[in-house]
Structure 1
Amino acid sequence: MNCAHRLFYLGLWLCIASTPIQAETLSFGNNSEQPPIVFLGDQDYPPIEWLENGEPRGIFASFLEHYATALDRRIEYRLMNWHEAQKAVLAGKGDVLTVFSPNAEREEHYDFVDSFLTFEISLFVKSDNLTIHNLADLSGTRTGVIKGSFPQKILSTGSETELVFVQDHLDGFRRLLAGEIDALATTKWVGAYIIQKNRLEGIKFVTDPIALKPSHMGVRKGEQALAELLTKGIERMRSDGTLDALNKQWSGYNMVYLTEHKLRQTYLNIALVGVLLFILITLVAINILRKQVKDRTRSLREAKQALEEALHDLIQTQAQLVQSEKMAALGRITAGVAHKINTPIGNAITLNSNLSHHLQLIERDTQAGKLTQTQLNAFITESLEALKLEEAALYKTARLVNDFKRLVAHQGQEHRERFNLFEYLNVALIQSQEQLSRAGIEVQITGDKALEMDSYPVSLSQVLKELIENACQHAFTDTTADQKVIEIAISQTQTTTLITLADNGSGAPDEVQKKMFDPFFTGEASMNRTGLGLSVAHSLINDVLGGKISSVSNPAGGLTLTLELPTCAPTLHLL
């Protein structure tokens, strides 16, 4: 029996056996304004319709729900002894006989209406039969039929086969398997059902049917209105495609019935496929992780080497920057790069190497077929722990860099003194005068001219220089103001000196203000700017002058920077 035939058999069996039936009488449709149409069927005509434990089952019932919709009437469906059903319709206790083929005797008492089922008359042969494919191939063979059946009528006129009468379908299939007949002709649905029910093996059906037999429904003779209503319902289902879809649904199932032995074998095969799939996925995952770990380790080593070389170059530059600028900007620059290196990077490399080693062990066990789920879970847990340790190492890098920044940031030639703030700011502006003139910017200083500070004037001068240069570069790029102005206002409380720098430029978005004091952040990457100016100013304000700086957009446009500095600066411990 090939796969296609097996699939058809199980699909038919599962679907007819699982039709959700709850009582001996079924009801379809919602129209309660008119009396229901009572359909009476055969309680012993599987798989079309039959009773199982008092519950109707079968193919016919699946059509009735759609038929009730097409008729716009409620349908009641009952199964009983077939001869009693025919008498009940004649006695007016039922309206319609479900699957009722016309003949001369019946036509005296009943009228017939085309039904929605179309039966495929098929040939069933042994699975190893390679010669019978259609009606013409039956010439010279022995074919089993049930006496008086539709297949007998077809084969007696359209084939040269020798007809052999069988008692019933089961008898015919047993004689087929015994070699007493070469083929059995019957309805495909019925034949498939008998094969399934009796667990017969070694039988297949010929793919192409030898005939199509439309089914009929019967009504009491003279019930013309009912017959016309039933016919219109069928026509509606045929015109909207429902009838064709339902017939295709029932004739096209491609599943296979599994005996207990084959079911166990199937479960075993599924389990084996699952194990192989698990091993394959594990191997793929290990190879991917192994490659990622190797790539990451190599990248870390290369980065460490490159950054160490950069740090060496920066350290060599440090002395020149300290001499020329007399400020701690070198520490900030060095810290901006050096945060990517240090001992914790070595620790991260070690962790990655260890993870690579464990991956090799997992790969070995997998290839040897020794890898268990417990081992895999443990490896994943250990890997996650290693990644957490690596993350902690990188955080340690940041802490070490901060310590290094504090070590080098104050090594400039700084001195503390008491000075007049107004006068000193005017002097400090001299260093930026050329750039201000080139940019066409006017600086105005307002406030109490007698204010004094006890602080570090060199660092304050450097802060002013960085803030002015930043304003020249960015503050007026998109402005249309006729006059570019930076207003510096100074004031004091008892212990705090406030210095504000407000421009009438284009301002800065909130996302820029959040990052403007970060190292290497710049909006002018194309101008070869380092992005360290405001970061250096921020470092000097916090670490040397002991204050803080903040920014806010002006309602009328532009940006205001506010420096809050202690009038008496904290002591700076130079190393």
Structure 2
Amino acid sequence: MQTPETNLILIVDDTPTNLEVLSEALTDAGFEVAVATSGESAIEQIEYDPPYLILLDIMMPGIDGFETCYRLKQNPQTKDIPVIFMTALSDTVDKVKGLSLGAVDYITKPFQQAEVLARVQIHVNLRNLNLALAEKNLRLEQEIKERAIAEAALQQLTHNLEQRVLERTQKLADALCTLEKAQIQLVQSEKLATLGQLVAGIAHEINNPVNFIHANLYYVSRYTQNLLELLKLYQNQLPKATPEILAKSKEIDLQYLLEDLPKILSSMEVGTERICDIIKSLRSFSRHDEAEVKVVDVHEGIESTLMILRRHLEAKPGQPKIQVFKEYGNLPKVECYPGKMNQVFMNVLSNAIDALTEAMDNYPSYVRSPMIRIMTEVLGSDRIAIRIADNGLGIPENIQKRIFDPFFTTKPAGKGTGLGMSISHQIITELHCGSLQCISQPGKGAEFVVEIPIQQPQLCHTGVVKQKFLSSPTQLDRKPAYQGLPIMVKADQK
């Protein structure tokens, strides 16, 4: 709090006697005193040397005390200086007017020195208290601002920390999900690799002896035909056979044997051709799963897949045969990973067969003629499309949104892993830079559209993409340890 020695009191009065009496009393009380004889001079003096308190006479020439007080209170720099009116007026109206203009007190003339000093001291103390309170309020406001800034910074820091925690948690969750997917894909790839090696090995070992049988059936058929012709020639030249020959002919039913033997050989030839086709399809399906792109005929991959799935297309008790309609376009040979593409064809066609089978089991009257339609076409100049559609019950929209999600399946537990379509989608989109779409409406079947470029962009052959899909030992065309029998074809001696 300021001391009285530092408190300047301004006395404004046009009467010299009043100025002298008040100045002497205040100076004796320890106050510093300044005087002014008019309102105008008081305002000018206050602008360059503001007092601590003003004793202001009302009745003065020029502007009176009321006007002077009004002007002081209108000025932001002087409005807080306490003003005490000095007047001989005792009318309540005048006092109210003065107080309403901003005065803090009244001193009536003639002066009582003790009263003047008491009132001045009270208002000086009040002034000191107000200034101290204002300073504390200012400090408090500053502290509040600083705390608000600190709290905002703390909140921002907390938000940033929470955001970083969320981001790190999300990254860890994504990494875990990616790891799980990679593990599942690795297991799946290992299974396919093992299955492919098994299929390739069996096909290779069966191929040689079957080729041996199939190739020599031609000569067996010719030799048999020659023997039958010779036998007929004997019958014509020697019509009277001996009793032993007649008995043996009857025993073996010679006439039936002559008719049935060519049919049997013809059936055997057809059967071996069928086995050769199956082996060819197995080898075509299981081969080429190397880490390099091959230029292949996509139709061969589709046909080999259909050959493997042929048993599932056949009619079953209470169910008709699933018809397959092919509308192949004039496709050029395509750069792709044939084994992976065959895996996609297998997944899509297997799902179509399962959907039709389920529909026939649960709604036999709805699907009377189950069919799968396969269409291929060239899109523009650089892409091809393979469309595989069925006339089953279709796929609801909520399932379509998740059909390519890992581990999502609508099949009962133990009948599906939920990885087939997810892996197929990754094979097409990430490994071949293509697209795999599902188009379906409930009650109108489902169609899967595969689009891939005819020539694979270099982007799809980067190490990261190849490592993701081809790092496991999935080369299914490895030679088995057993090389098989050599092909034995007996040459025509002629």
TM-score normalised by L of structure 1: 0.31
Q: Which structure's residues are more often helix, by fraction?
A: 2
Q: Which has the higher contact order (CA 8 A, sep 6+)?
A: 2
TM-score normalised by L of structure 2: 0.35
Q: Which structure's residues are more often strand, by fraction?
A: 1
Greater C-alpha Rg? 2
